[in-house]
Amino acid sequence: MQSHILSIILFTPLVGALVLLFVPKESKDAIRWIANIFALGGFLISLPLVPMFWAQRFEPGFKFLEGTPNNWIPSIGAGYNLGIDGISFLLIMLTTLLGWISILSSWTAIEIRVKEYYVWFLVLQTGMLGVFMALDFFLFFVFWEAMLVPMYLLIGIWGGPRKLYAAIKFFLYTLFGSVLMLLGILFLYFHHHTVTNPQVFTFSIPELYKTAPMIPFHYAIWLFVAFFIGFAIKVPMFPFHTWLPDAHVEAPTAGSVILAGVLLKMGTYGFVRFSLPFFPAVVSHPKVQSWMIGISLVGIIYGALVSLMQKDMKKLVAYSSVSHLGFCTLGIFALNSMGLSGSVLQQINHGISTGALFLIVGILYERRHTREIAEYGGISNVMPVYATITMIMFLSSMGLPLLNGFVGEFTILQGAFTANWRWAAWAAPGVVLAAAYLLWLYQRVFFGTVTNPKNEKLHDLTPREILTFAPLIIMALWIGLYPKPFFQILEQPVNQIVQTIHDNSNSNSNAAVNAQVAPAPSSRPKASN
Amino acid sequence: MVELTIFALGILLIDLMVPREWKWINAAGAFVGVLFAALCVWQIQSALPRGAAGFYNSLLVDRFAIYFWYLFLAGAAVAILMSVRYLDVEDEHHGEYYSLLLLSVVGMMCMAAGIDIVLIFIGLELMAISTYVLVGFLRRDRRSNEAALKYMLLGAFSSGIFAYGLSLFYGLSGGTNLVVIARAVSAPQNLHNPVVVIALLTTMTGLLFKIAAVPFHQWAPDAYEGAPTSITGFMSVAVKAAAWAMLLRILVFGLWPLRSVYTPVIVVVAIATMTGANFAALTQTNTKRLLAYSSIAHVGYMLLALVAMGTSQPGSPGFSDGFKGILIYLLVYTFMNLGAFAVITSLRQRNVIGDEIDDMAGLYRRAPVEAVLMLLFLLSLAGIPPAAGFLGKYYIFLSLIESGHYGLASLGVLYSLFGLYYYLKIANAMLMRAPMETERLPVSLGIRCAVGVTALATIVIGVYPEPFIRGVNWSLGIVQAPHVAAMVR
């Protein structure tokens, strides 16, 4: 079973979707139960991966390999090739967990066209898992684009008042980046063919790792730009972020959770998996790196400032995503192992905390059908359990020590500081601003007396709703209190990437790159596991 | 071909004898004829592994021709399935329809296999005239009459210019066979010979008209909109494929030495086509017209592949991927476009024409399976994997990158975004708008089969394209090493 576990995890949601097709659409409860069983099943099936991966965490390369390069479409060179390393392993666990939580949270939120909703959601789940598992660029691209369709439908059918606008904006904007990325992929593929002897056509990513750094700089810079646009739109980085507020606000709650929790990570995953190892000379070029850092810093500060002024809770959380992911890209482009591992960990943290934030907003929205902050006040008097959970997740999001956000942000800032202290100096206010907008939001909504009579009869969280938060709180505490296992998992792939950059760096005087391969903060003994 | 002609004539006879309620026998006969013809093509393929020339070297039944013959027959078969109930509703169910359909396929087969300009022209005219009549088949509908008239006049005009160009080539070479013409124009001084250039340009005018490239596309939106929807579907795939076969035969097999002259022209035409069609499609409210402009846009992408071919050496990756790209594009295009038109055809009921986007509103309630499959076709047309349409775009952009045309490649991908917007307009209406009526849409068996077959093809070719790519490789004579990871080009 080990040899096929990735495929099993990948296709369980799709099987669930196919099973749902045969359930008559009138039996809504049956549909909900079946969907939830498959979603939970998908998560439980991914759990055996944990001990198996843990045992192999220090071994180099991709694990749980399935398939061989070029076995799917030999005439093109595309293969059904799956495999994971530490980075994708964490993201896959996040995806299966958030997928289940989102489906669970939709129980009462979706009343129309229930069957279609769960079918598309499960298809989306498969698409997301495929992106993280694919070791073949063609396969990766298929999943990357295929995943846009269910998301578009989820926003467009079950979304808010401006759903049509938001859905099509999301689709077109993201597709724009994707097609430019396609051109980059094709160039890499063709280049591999021209430099290999005997000439080989393949899309296999490990193979392309070997030849991509050889691309001459003046071509590589354009390829980097092509990939950058594709990933920067997904992350989203300023100034390609304008689709995010619309998509997030108009999407149904579960859609926002999965959009923020997983889909945004694909952009940063793309940077880590592709941009950095493929174009190390370009990435380590001081000018390029400065631009990337600059955009990240703008994202952090701008995202936070705009969040501060929002009147709609969901939009506030949406812009906070821009700010948080600015930290992640800051960590990536610091190009050292601390920044990179901090960035990946922070991506997981963001998935957990922002996923929870959207759930929190969704809870209130389901009860009162408004997200205006002014409509609320003193909610903690009426819904104490909810207020407590909200406080925990807010603290996690703003990076309070003992919770997960602190570990990620601190490591990223450490990495940025090692590269160039000014970068860290500019990023640090982002932490303060995060506290500002989150605490101010909490104060306005929860503290004080109940200002709006409509809020007096709100009922507190149901057990199902508490269940959607429980895993997130557990993970937030776990990562916050004991992040060592996570850093150990990330150590090997992160060091590999940093090594590639160092080997191919074109400016040895770049202090940022030279301050790398520092031991990750795991303090593991040098001996093997 | 002969079999099809016999079947066509047979249908005319049967039609005289058959009462009104049994008119579907004509369709059945036509369908059987198409299947029988496919069987005969298969026999030819097995019997002549290396192809053969016939009719005094005017016909070359090589693998290229056989590939297109299969394509035409597939298109005709699905079109016949779509037509039966549609013609009933329109009250124009005559046997001549199926006869003309079969005869136009005969013309197409001549165009694909012909290497003598006279035979190509005969095939072209046979196909065109049959199609003119088919476009105007709804005698009592003004739009249909207008469409047919426009198509015929413009078509005749362009055929005349085309014939003029071909006659100039005859004059230059002393022969009508493409091989002879190729030899005659291959002398380097011919590139500057004004007669050659004029001959080339006039010939290309005719070719570009038939594939509906800008600026020779004006007939297409009107013809597509006015024609009976099943014929629109047939025209947009089979006629287009035949026109491309003819274009490839003439420009690549015949006039290859002149590629340095015609490739720049194709670049301009390709850019104009993509631009004009994509912009025009953005504002359309009639689904048939929108798909007509989308057809023209797809032609623009295929012309880009032709550019890649024209600027590469034969045998280089740019050339073979471009060539493969055009052929694969036509294959996937046949199925996805026919599928989309089949769904539009099913909307035609007794009291509603059904070809506006508003008519598709709320289709998810009235015909959920058709709505989802239509979404599949639209996504495939936009080039979203894993639907088959992505494969065509993949090869075209690959060939552009391999031949170094990065700017054109970027332009091409950006224009495909436009495509997504207008395809999603239809999808939005179908899936997200409230329906105007909620009762089930009755869909005939024929259309269900048509939609089913095309959807299956779209999914299968998208998810497992290997056998189809091998088929295209075979048809172009590209050798593949058995080694899985390497490919000899």
Residues of B in contact with A116 (CB under 8 A): 364
B379, B432, B480 member nearest A75 (Cβ):
B480
B384, B401, B485 member nearest A145 (Cβ):
B384
Q: Are A461 and A389 in contact (CB under 8 A)?
A: yes
For chain B, the average pLDDT equals 86
Q: Which residue, chain included where needed, has tokens 């063919």? A: A193
A73, A157, A171 member nearest B431 (Cβ):
A157
**What are the structure tokens assigned to A361, written together?**
């907003």
Q: Do B413 and A73 touch (CB under 8 A)?
A: no
Q: Which residue, chain included where needed, has tokens 């390609």? A: A240
- How far is it, in rounded angstroms, from Cα A39 to Cα A100? 5
Q: Residue A120's closest chain B neighbor by CA?
A: B372
Q: Do B486 and A163 touch (CB under 8 A)?
A: no
C-alpha distance from A510 to closest chain B C-alpha (Å) = 32
C-alpha distance from A153 to closest chain B C-alpha (Å) = 8
AA letter at B108: M
Q: Phi/psi of residue A417, each to 5°?
A: -60, -45
Pairing of strands B52-54, B59-61: antiparallel
Encode pLDDT of A100-113 as tens digits.
999 999 998 888 88
Q: Choose the mutation target among B278, B432, B433, B460 for the interface with A, i.e. most A CBs under 10 Å.
A: B432
A71, A146, A198 member nearest B486 (Cβ):
A198
Cβ–Cβ contacts within 10 Å for residue A124, how many? Answer: 27
Phi-psi region of A376 (alpha: psi -120 to 50; beta: other; left: phi over 0): beta
- How far is it, in rounded angstroms, from Cα A309 to Cα A324? 17
Residues of B in contact with A10 (CB under 8 A): none
pLDDT, position A508:
44
Residue A459 has pLDDT above 90, yes or no: no
pLDDT, position B479:
47
B424, B480, B487 member nearest A171 (Cβ):
B424
Residues of B in contact with A172 (CB under 8 A): 417, 420-421
The H-or-E segment that residue B52 falls in is: strand B52-54
pLDDT, position A1:
56
B397, B424, B485 member nearest A183 (Cβ):
B397
Q: Do A175 and B420 touch (CB under 8 A)?
A: yes
A75, A141, A186 member nearest B466 (Cβ):
A75
DSSP state string for A272-318: IIIIHHH-HHHHTSHHHHHHHHHHHHHHHHHHHHHHHT-SBHHHHHH
DSSP state of A213: G
A156, A182, A202 member nearest B397 (Cβ):
A182
pLDDT, position B478:
60
Q: Are A6 and A64 in contact (CB under 8 A)?
A: yes
Q: Do A75 and B469 touch (CB under 8 A)?
A: yes
Q: Do A75 and B487 touch (CB under 8 A)?
A: yes
AA letter at A121: F
C-alpha distance from B383 to closest chain A C-alpha (Å) = 10
C-alpha distance from A143 to closest chain B C-alpha (Å) = 8
C-alpha distance from A335 to closest chain B C-alpha (Å) = 30
pLDDT, position A202:
83
CA distances from A42 to A98, A100, A113, A326, A466 (A): 11, 8, 23, 31, 20
A-B contacts at Cβ under 8 angstroms: 101
- How far is it, in rounded angstroms, from Cα B111 to Cα B133? 19
Residues of A in contact with B406 (CB under 8 A): 183, 222
Residues of B in contact with A14 (CB under 8 A): none
- How far is it, in rounded angstroms, from Cα B263 to Cα B276? 20
Can you list the residues of chain B whose pLDDT is less than 50?
Answer: 479-489
CA distances from A267 to A97, A151, B248 (A): 19, 16, 42
- Chain A contact residues (CB < 8 Å to B): 68-77, 113, 116, 141-142, 145-146, 148-149, 152-153, 156-157, 163-164, 167-168, 171-172, 175-176, 179-180, 182-183, 186-187, 189-190, 193, 198-202, 222
C-alpha distance from B281 to closest chain A C-alpha (Å) = 16
C-alpha distance from A139 to closest chain B C-alpha (Å) = 9
B386, B420, B473 member nearest A172 (Cβ):
B420
pLDDT, position B333:
94
pLDDT, position A2:
65
Tell me if residue A325 falls in helix, strand or coil: helix
Q: Do A148 and B428 touch (CB under 8 A)?
A: no
| Alpha helices per DSSP H over A309-420 | 313-333, 337-368, 379-382, 384-398, 404-419
C-alpha distance from A67 to closest chain B C-alpha (Å) = 13
A116, A156, A200 member nearest B486 (Cβ):
A200
pLDDT, position B108:
92
Q: Do B487 and A176 touch (CB under 8 A)?
A: no
Cβ–Cβ contacts within 10 Å for residue A205, how many? Answer: 23
C-alpha distance from A405 to closest chain B C-alpha (Å) = 36
A70, A163, A171 member nearest B420 (Cβ):
A171
Question: A405 CB contacts (<8 Å, ≥6 apart)?
Answer: A346, A349, A353, A395, A396, A397, A398, A399, A476, A480
Q: Are A158 and A139 in contact (CB under 8 A)?
A: no
Counting Cβ atoms within 10 Å, is residue B91 exposed (0-12), middle (13-18) or buried (19+)? Answer: exposed
Classify each residue of B323-334 as buried b or exposed e, where b means 16 or more C-beta atoms within 10 Å of its C-beta.
bbbbbbbbbbbb
ipTM for the predicted complex: 0.89
**What are the structure tokens assigned to A366, written together?**
């389901």
**What are the structure tokens assigned to A163, written together?**
């759903």
For chain A, the average pLDDT equals 88
Encode pLDDT of B322-377 as tens digits.
999 999 999 999 999 999 999 998 888 777 777 888 888 888 888 888 899 999 99
pLDDT, position B51:
67
Q: Phi/psi of residue B422, each to 5°?
A: -80, -25
Task: Look at A169-183, A370-384, A498-512, B285-299 and tell me which has the smallest mean pLDDT.
Answer: A498-512
Q: Do B432 and A180 touch (CB under 8 A)?
A: no
Nearest to A347 by CA among A248, A144, A229, A486: A486
- How far is it, in rounded angstroms, from Cα B297 to Cα B236? 12
Q: Do B428 and A75 touch (CB under 8 A)?
A: no
Q: Do B417 and A176 touch (CB under 8 A)?
A: yes
C-alpha distance from A268 to closest chain B C-alpha (Å) = 22
Q: Do B486 and A186 touch (CB under 8 A)?
A: no
Q: Residue A202's closest chain B neighbor by CA?
A: B485
Residues of B in contact with A201 (CB under 8 A): 485-487
Q: Residue B415's closest chain A neighbor by CA?
A: A176
Q: How far is CA B116 from the centre of its chain?
A: 22
DSSP state string for B125-164: HHHHHHHHHHHT--TT-HHHHHHHHHHHHHHHHHHHHHHH
Q: Do B431 and A153 touch (CB under 8 A)?
A: yes
Q: Find the helix packing angle between B24-47 and B2-17, rounded to 10°.
A: 170
A75, A163, A172 member nearest B473 (Cβ):
A75
Q: Phi/psi of residue A395, each to 5°?
A: -65, -35
Q: Do A200 and B485 touch (CB under 8 A)?
A: yes
C-alpha distance from B9 to closest chain A C-alpha (Å) = 43
Q: Residue B481's closest chain A neighbor by CA?
A: A75
Residues of A in contact with B428 (CB under 8 A): 156, 164, 168
Tell me if residue A519 falls in helix, strand or coil: coil
Q: Quick one: average pLDDT of A218-247?
A: 91
Residue A509 has pLDDT above 70, yes or no: no
Encode pLDDT of A446-455 as tens digits.
888 888 888 8
Residue A523 has pLDDT above 50, yes or no: no
